[in-house]
């Protein structure tokens, strides 16, 4: 499904997407095209992209193509979905250790739509961190193992 | 055979006939046709009818009118032989006669009008009322254009305190540029990862992970 979504392949393209997307939630999906969970997620993203066109711009990024960003965003699990608003990264509290990105696929389309809406409304009210509206049971569980702390 | 006989009788072939768009009929009179009574009457009717429309629209050029609602009305330009949108309309508002004036001021309409006048031998003094110069069209449009108005409305509704309201898009963005990114851990400032990156301190993959379901590792340790 990811071929239906616009894809960013270089650091410059990602920079441009982050800088030039104005008054919209920028959704960056880091993953691999042939990963089955990524495909599930892409399916949800594509099917909702039209409905969310006034609230969000959705792009896919291959984790292997831009190592700079993969490292900078600390992407260790895929698919990882990161949100920006007007060039500012948006944190979301999913009741999971990592607030900077959503790991895994959404359970259904409505979950993703709700999340984008909450981020959009939060950003419009000046909040850089919002609480996820998704039922915690529908958020994939993972653990981060801390090294060098 | 019958057909052949008929053509022979009048001794006219199809090449002798011309189509007159004003009278909407074929004739074999050549250039004489434009001076005929019926043709002159038709031309006068067109000039009268079109002239009334222009006359009705002219005051709006000096004092533009914007109505609410959609108006998809068209008008027929006799000189160009095409249908044109009469008003400029968006989903919510209509600028009256916007399309009408744009057409009258267009270069294409000017050329077509000149050739219409030449072809049909019309009184030259009548021509100018059907033409608008670009200066007239530009200077008499008081107030913002439809696009500017929409832009202005959109900006007005945006809250001032929204995230990244003052984000400077014009600042330089080279290879070095990185967006703001909060740390994975909840402690520490948002600009820390960016600062670390700048200093060239590559963070050894800080997080290693074991997914419960549905994920695989992207960067092996």
Per-residue pLDDT at B144: 64
CB of B157 within 8 Å of a chain A CB? The answer is no
Tell me which residue of A53, A51, A33 sits closest to A42, measured CA to CA. A33
This complex has an ipTM of 0.71
A7 or A2, which is more confident: A7
- The answer to whether A101 touches A81, Cβ cutoff 8 Å, is yes
CB-based burial label for B167 (10 Å; 0-12, 13-18, 19+): middle
B182 to chain A nearest CA, in Å? 6
Q: Do B209 and A77 touch (CB under 8 A)?
A: yes
Rounded-to-integer distance, Cα B40 and Cα B36, Å: 6
Residue A84: list chain B partners with CB under 8 A. 179
- A109 Ramachandran zone, left/alpha/beta (phi>0; psi -120 to 50): alpha
pLDDT, average across residues A5-18 = 90
Report the mean per-residue pLDDT for chain A.
89
Residue A40 or B194, more confident: A40
How does pLDDT run along chain B (221 residues), one tens digit per residue? 445 544 455 577 888 888 998 999 899 888 899 999 999 999 999 999 999 999 998 888 888 888 888 888 899 999 998 999 998 888 888 888 888 998 999 999 999 999 999 989 898 888 888 998 877 776 656 566 667 777 776 666 788 888 888 887 777 677 778 887 866 655 556 656 566 666 654 443 333 333 333 333 443 33
Reduced to 3 DSSP states, what percent helix, strand and coil does chain B have, rounded to the nearest 5?
Answer: 45, 15, 40
Please tell me if residue A55 touches chain B, with a CB cutoff of 8 Å: no
Lowest-pLDDT choice from A1-5, A27-31, A128-132? A1-5
- The predicted structure's pLDDT at residue B88: 86
Contact list in A for residue B169 (CB cut-off 8 A) is 19-20, 22, 87
B205, burial (CB in 10 Å: exposed 0-12, middle 13-18, buried 19+): middle
Closest by CA position to A54, among listed B164, B157, B145? B157
* CB count in 10 Å sphere of residue B128: 10
Token pair recorded at residue B71: 């108006």
Q: In chain A, what residues touch B215 (CB-CB under 8 Å)? A: 37, 77-79, 103-104, 140, 142
The answer to whether the Cβ–Cβ distance between B163 and A37 falls below 8 Å is no
Nearest-CB residue to B208 (from A20, A76, A84): A76
Q: Are A144 and A98 a contacting pair, CB within 8 Å?
A: yes
**Which residues of chain A does B203 touch, with a Cβ-Cβ cutoff of 8 Å?**
71, 74
| Chain B touched by A109 (CB under 8 Å) | no
Cβ distance A144 to B209 less than 8 Å, yes or no, reads yes
């Amino acid at each position: 499904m990811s071929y239906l979504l616009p894809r960013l392949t270089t650091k410059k393209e990602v920079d441009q997407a982050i800088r030039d997307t104005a008054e919209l939630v920028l959704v960056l999906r880091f993953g691999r095209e042939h990963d089955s969970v990524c495909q599930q997620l892409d399916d949800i993203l594509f099917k909702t992209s039209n409905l969310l066109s006034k609230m969000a711009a959705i792009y896919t990024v291959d984790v292997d193509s831009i190592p700079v960003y993969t490292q900078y965003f600390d992407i260790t699990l895929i698919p990882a979905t990161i949100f920006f608003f007007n060039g500012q990264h948006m944190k979301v509290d999913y009741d999971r250790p990592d607030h900077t990105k959503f790991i895994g696929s959404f359970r259904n389309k409505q979950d993703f739509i709700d999340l984008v809406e909450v981020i959009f409304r939060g950003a419009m009210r000046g909040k850089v961190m919002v609480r996820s509206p998704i039922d915690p049971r529908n958020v994939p569980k993972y653990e981060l193992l801390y090294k060098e702390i | 055979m019958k057909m052949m006989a008929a053509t022979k009788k009048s001794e006219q072939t199809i090449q002798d006939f011309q189509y007159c768009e004003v009278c909407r009929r074929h004739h074999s009179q050549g250039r004489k046709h434009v001076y005929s009574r019926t043709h002159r009457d038709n031309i006068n009717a067109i000039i009268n009818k079109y002239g009334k429309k222009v006359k009705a629209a002219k005051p709006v050029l000096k004092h533009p009118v914007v109505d609410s609602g959609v108006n998809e009305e068209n008008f027929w330009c006799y000189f160009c032989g095409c249908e044109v949108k009469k008003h400029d309309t968006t989903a919510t508002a209509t600028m009256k006669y916007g399309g009408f004036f744009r057409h009258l001021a267009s270069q294409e309409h000017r050329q077509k009008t000149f050739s219409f006048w030449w072809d049909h031998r019309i009184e030259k003094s009548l021509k100018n009322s059907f033409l608008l110069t670009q200066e007239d069209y530009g200077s008499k449009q008081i107030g913002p254009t439809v696009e500017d108005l929409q832009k202005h409305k959109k900006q007005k509704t945006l809250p001032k305190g929204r995230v990244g309201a003052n984000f400077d898009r014009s600042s330089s963005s080279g290879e070095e540029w990185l967006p703001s990114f909060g740390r994975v851990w909840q402690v520490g400032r948002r600009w820390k990862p960016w600062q670390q990156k700048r200093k060239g301190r590559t963070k050894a993959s800080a997080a290693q992970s074991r997914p419960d379901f549905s994920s695989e590792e992207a960067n092996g340790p």
